[in-house]
């Protein structure tokens, strides 16, 4: 049974069909080897599909199948067979926080127990297998390539990278360090680090900087990125030297050296001019047409990023006359959200419509000068568009300078913690956490997953499915076709009592209408009701039962009741109320 993973919904899916496997891989599912070996004939395991949640469910129990069909699930026939000799149990667990991908199935007892410790519900044995499966491990960083407007990995899966730019290597070399890069990856959800090598600024590569030292720092950064599993950009950071041709010869010599050194490193990306300014696209184009062949002479594949006019804003102009005869090239767009808004987004829309591959190799939510006030709303509007187009993004900058775009607060050291984050750093951490898409890694070809396990008694270790972080102020549960979401909206103390206000949302997940519904909420301790609305509420100890009032007794298919709510009280000493 092939096992596949959908990084968008978190669902694992199992199929015996190689054709179905391949078509799912083609649309972005990750191949994870085999889940188990099934018998060819035995007890049927039914496969069902929930068109609302986009989720599959599998069961041996025909009564459970029929009940789900009544609730609107689609029966998809027999998925596979369970071994009547009960050779090897396939355990089933349920994640109460997930809407889709809520079940996991495994023959590995360790995985089963691990998930239960993480808060999954034990649903015991789903069915029986003949032998364990064989997980494939996808690891390492895949060589990327450009296709249309997209960045794809070696398995042609779409990749959207997010990460951070160092500050100028000449100014802040101390952040080029494996421990810092590890912090950015583990705590700030980074997958790519940009090494900003200023050319003309004080102490830059073409302005008195110690070139050997700067190159050693780049090498340290390239190695640290690799050691922490991140891509890395070598950024020729022109800025006050607005015309890239000013240092054309130095750029050619530099990229000849870099590409010779890193031609076999799949994680290295070259950015040949940060922010051209006061110069036409024709001049930048001519520069690029000379520097790119220098890189290609050594490294035929590495991604190359090319700056665009007006501090890398005019992607629309580049799109009207892109480079020719080059491959794996993308064009950069930079924005600082407090300054650059709809007008620059329109340029991106124009460029995207013309098929220009765009990479946001630098951005911030401060003003264009890297300082001033932050505009998170504008930053969020930018994120939606980048997400819609699947454009990779790199934030400015890993530093503790007293300016708004620094990720870390002034005075903090390089022994970083999340307490060191500036307001901009906090926005990046939260935004990147929300948008995180795991890197797929280099996966063995599917056929290798067909091998019979060499030692059937050794349990395989399939990748652990993602657990949705449980939000203590919200709880979601589904019972039959009713999904309930209970959200803590407010909490206050008055007259020596704690008051907790909840909003309750009920959704009919089925395709038939639901009447005489009943919902229940259980807390970790007894509560009493202070106020309630739009339902009949009764408390028994720590359990609340909700039944309809005359005007909301029926919920149409797919519809929600959103106006139910309650305020409950606990004694002053009971400060930790949580939903079970």
- From 362, 376, 429, 430, active-site residue: 362
Beta-bridge partner residues of 411: none
Footprint on residues 322-341 left by ligand IDC (CB under 6 A): 334, 336
Burial 403-429 (b: 16+ CB within 10 A, else e): bbbbbbeeebebebeeebbbebbebbb
Instruction: State yes or no: residue 405 binds ligand IDC (CB under 6 A).
Output: yes
Which residue number, 334 or 352, has a Cβ lying nearer to ligand IDC? Answer: 334
Q: Are 222 and 182 in contact (CB under 8 A)?
A: no
Distance of alpha carbon 292 from alpha carbon 144, whole angstroms: 17
Instruction: State yes or no: residue 370 binds ligand IDC (CB under 6 A).
Output: yes
Sheet strand arrangement including 55-59: 55-59, 43-50, 74-82
- Exposed / middle / buried, residue 124 (Cβ in 10 Å: 0-12, 13-18, 19+): exposed
Work out which of 201, 271, 314, 316 binds ligand IDC, going by CB under 6 A.
Answer: 201
Distance of alpha carbon 236 from alpha carbon 481, whole angstroms: 57
Instruction: State yes or no: residue 362 binds ligand IDC (CB under 6 A).
Output: yes
Helix (H) or strand (E) holding 533: strand 528-533
Distance of alpha carbon 224 from alpha carbon 398, whole angstroms: 15
Which residue number, 10 or 204, has a Cβ lying nearer to ligand IDC? Answer: 204
Considering only the stretches 364-372, 384-392, 484-492, 497-505, report the one whose residues sit in contact with ligand IDC under the rule CB under 6 A: 364-372
Q: Quote the least distance from Cβ 307 to ligand IDC, whole Å.
A: 10
Considering only the stretches 24-32, 141-149, 362-370, 496-504, report the one whose residues sit in contact with ligand IDC under the rule CB under 6 A: 362-370
Instruction: State yes or no: residue 400 binds ligand IDC (CB under 6 A).
Output: no
Instruction: State yes or no: residue 368 binds ligand IDC (CB under 6 A).
Output: yes
The site string for ligand IDC over 293-322 (x = CB under 6 A, - otherwise) reads ------------------x-----------
Work out which of 403, 421, 429, 567 binds ligand IDC, going by CB under 6 A.
Answer: 403
Which residue number, 311 or 537, has a Cβ lying nearer to ligand IDC? Answer: 311
Burial 455-474 (b: 16+ CB within 10 A, else e): eeeebbebbebeeeeeeeee
Is 429 one of the annotated active-site residues of the chain? no
Instruction: State yes or no: residue 369 binds ligand IDC (CB under 6 A).
Output: yes
| DSSP for residue 83 | -
User: According to DSSP H, which parts of 299-422 are helical?
Assistant: 309-312, 315-320, 342-353, 376-389
Considering only the stretches 27-35, 261-269, 396-404, 570-578, report the one whose residues sit in contact with ligand IDC under the rule CB under 6 A: 396-404
Footprint on residues 56-115 left by ligand IDC (CB under 6 A): none
- Residue 131 CB coordination number (10 Å): 20
Is 362 one of the annotated active-site residues of the chain? yes
Positions in the binding site for ligand IDC (CB under 6 A): 168, 201, 239, 274-275, 311, 334, 336, 362, 368-370, 396, 401, 403, 405
Residues catalogued as catalytic: 275, 362
């Amino acid at each position: 049974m092939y096992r596949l993973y959908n990084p968008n919904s978190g669902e694992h899916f199992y199929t015996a069909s190689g054709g179905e496997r391949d078509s799912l891989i083609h649309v972005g599912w990750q191949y994870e080897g085999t889940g188990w070996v099934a018998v060819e004939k035995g007890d049927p395991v039914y496969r069902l599909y929930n068109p609302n949640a986009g989720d599959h469910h599998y069961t041996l129990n025909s009564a459970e199948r029929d009940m789900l069909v009544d609730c609107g699930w689609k029966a998809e026939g027999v998925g596979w067979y369970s071994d009547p000799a009960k050779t090897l149990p396939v355990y089933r667990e349920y994640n109460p926080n997930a809407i889709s991908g809520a079940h996991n199935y495994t023959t590995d007892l360790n995985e089963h127990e691990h998930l239960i410790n993480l808060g999954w519900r034990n649903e015991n044995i789903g069915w029986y297998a003949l032998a364990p499966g064989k997980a494939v491990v996808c690891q390492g960083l895949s060589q990327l390539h450009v296709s249309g407007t997209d960045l794809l990995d070696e398995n042609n899966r779409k990749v959207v990278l997010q990460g951070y730019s160092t500050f100028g290597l000449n100014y802040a070399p101390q952040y080029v360090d494996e421990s810092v890069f590890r912090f950015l990856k583990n705590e700030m959800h980074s997958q790519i680090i940009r090494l900003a090598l200023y050319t003309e600024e004080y102490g830059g590569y073409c302005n008195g900087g110690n070139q050997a030292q700067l190159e050693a720092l780049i090498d340290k950064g390239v190695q640290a990125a690799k050691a922490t599993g991140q891509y890395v950009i070598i950024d020729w950071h022109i800025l006050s030297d607005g015309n890239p041709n000013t240092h054309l010869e130095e750029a050619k010599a530099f990229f000849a050296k870099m590409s010779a050194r890193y031609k076999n490193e799949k994680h290295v990306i070259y950015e040949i001019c940060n922010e051209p300014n006061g110069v036409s696209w024709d001049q930048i184009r001519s520069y690029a047409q000379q520097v790119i062949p220098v890189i290609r002479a050594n490294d035929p594949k590495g991604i190359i990023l090319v700056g665009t006019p007006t501090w890398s804003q005019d992607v629309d102009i580049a799109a009207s006359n892109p480079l020719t005869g080059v491959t794996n090239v993308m064009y950069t767009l930079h924005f600082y959200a407090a300054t650059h808004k709809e007008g620059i987004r329109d340029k991106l829309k124009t460029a995207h419509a013309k098929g220009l591959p765009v990479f946001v190799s630098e951005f911030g939510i401060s003003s264009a000068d890297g300082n001033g006030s932050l505009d998170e709303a504008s930053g969020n509007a930018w994120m939606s568009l980048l997400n819609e187009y699947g454009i990779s993004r790199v934030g400015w900058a890993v530093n503790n300078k007293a300016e708004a775009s620094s990720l870390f607060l002034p005075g903090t050291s390089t022994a970083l913690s999340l307490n060191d984050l500036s307001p901009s750093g906090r926005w990046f951490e939260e935004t990147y956490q929300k948008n995180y898409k795991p890197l797929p890694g280099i996966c063995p070809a599917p056929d290798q997953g067909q091998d019979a396990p060499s030692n059937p008694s050794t349990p395989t270790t399939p990748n652990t499915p993602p657990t949705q972080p449980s939000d203590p102020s919200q709880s979601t549960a589904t019972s039959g076709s009713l999904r309930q979401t209970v959200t803590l909206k407010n909490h206050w103390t008055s007259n020596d009592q704690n008051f907790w206000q909840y909003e309750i949302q009920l959704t009919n997940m089925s395709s038939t209408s639901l009447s005489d519904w009943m919902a229940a909420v259980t807390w970790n301790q007894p509560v009493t009701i202070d106020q309630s609305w739009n339902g009949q509420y009764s408390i028994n100890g720590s359990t609340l039962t909700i039944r309809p009032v005359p005007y909301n007794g029926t919920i149409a298919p797919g519809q929600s009741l959103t106006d139910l709510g309650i305020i409950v009280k606990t004694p002053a000493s009971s400060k930790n109320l949580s939903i079970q």
